[in-house]
Structure 1
Amino acid sequence: MRRYAIVANQTLDKDQLLRVVRERAAQGPADFWLVVPATPVKDLASNAVAVPMPVMGGTLALPHPPAEARRLAQNKLDAALEKLAAAGVTADGAVADPDPLRAVESALAGRTFDEIVVVTLPTRFSLWMHQDLPDRLAHHFHVPVTAVATEDV
């Protein structure tokens, strides 16, 4: 059985994720683990959380706490696992460290993977691609890494 780590956050609801999983499942028995970094709300490409605006005489709103990032990531993970299950794919996963390299490192504790797939926003919007995440993962973990960019934000 081949084992795949899929690293995604904002792209968990995109069709490319399902396509990648189906392609790999078609090659034979497969096990999928979704690694979902708890991306800070301020770093999300399309901020789905209403940010309170300061009012005259009021104080500036504090940044969203890490708990908010974890909650959003968990909601996305739960929805992605339901979508994959509905498509007949068995998968599991966990919300992890905001840093995707550390998130994969924690996923590898006690697991081995044959491939790491990074599903990102389009390259022009993707912080992970600007940080060269796929190459950094391949260099650090010595596992083949495939980057798949979505077509929209």
Structure 2
Amino acid sequence: MLEERTLRILVVSDHAEPTPELREAIRHRAAAGGVQFRLIVLNPARAELHLLHPERHDKATEAEQTLRAALPQLEQAAGAPVIGSVSVRHDPMDAIEETIYSEPVDEIMLAIPAHHVSTWLHQDLPHRLRHFDLPVTVVGAAPTD
């Protein structure tokens, strides 16, 4: 008899404070059972700043404090501990690739607004993630201009 293993879900958000939609998506996915959530919050510093720029680290520290305060909400939704951190990366693709290459991931949940132009060109994040051959769930999928 094969033993079922826990699926690891990478949740990527551009906000350290989880939205009600994200909490509900986590609650819904956790209800299926056998999952563990790993949340990566994108660095809120401006994208053009160098990785070693002090503002990038200051913004990450602020976001980390917000995330630490919000983790109990996510853990309540998940019904289990949630691993959360703020990425040094601002770009979601960079943060996702860095995580996938350093730890096992079975699914991806995105809580990042899409943009119309990138969606029309099929250059939006869900399309770009297809080469990982992982299920991708988009939370709050309404595109922005």
The TM-score, its normalising length taken from structure 1, stands at 0.69
- The CA deviation string for residues 18-73 of structure 1, in whole angstroms up to 9 with x for no partner, is 11111111111110000111032589xxxxxxxxxxxxxxxxxxx98112321232
Distance 2:12 2:47 in 1: 19
Determine whether 1:117 maps to 2:76. Answer: no
Deviating 4+ runs (over 4 angstroms): 126-131
Unaligned runs of 5+ in 2: 1-5
CA distance in 1, matches of 2:47, 2:98: 23
Give distance in 2, aligned partners of 1:128 and 1:6: 21
Secondary structure at the residue paired with 1:65? helix
Paired with 2:85 and 2:59, the residues of 1 have a C-alpha distance of 13
Tell me the equivalent position of 2:136: 145
Percent identity between the aligned chains?
A: 31
Shift in CA distance, 36/128, structure 1 to aligned 2, threshold 3 Å = farther
Aligned residue pairs total: 130
1:4, distance to aligned residue in structure 2 (A): 0.3
Separation in 2 of the partners of 1:89 and 1:66?
Answer: 31
Taking a change above 3 Å as real, the CA distance of residues 74 and 127 of structure 1, as seen in their structure-2 partners, is farther
Greater share of helix? 2
Q: Secondary structure at the residue paired with 2:59?
A: helix
Q: Is the 8 A contact 1:39 1:98 kept in 2?
A: yes
Query: Residues 35 and 94 of structure 1 are in contact (CA less than 8 Å); yes or no, is this contact kept in structure 2?
Result: yes
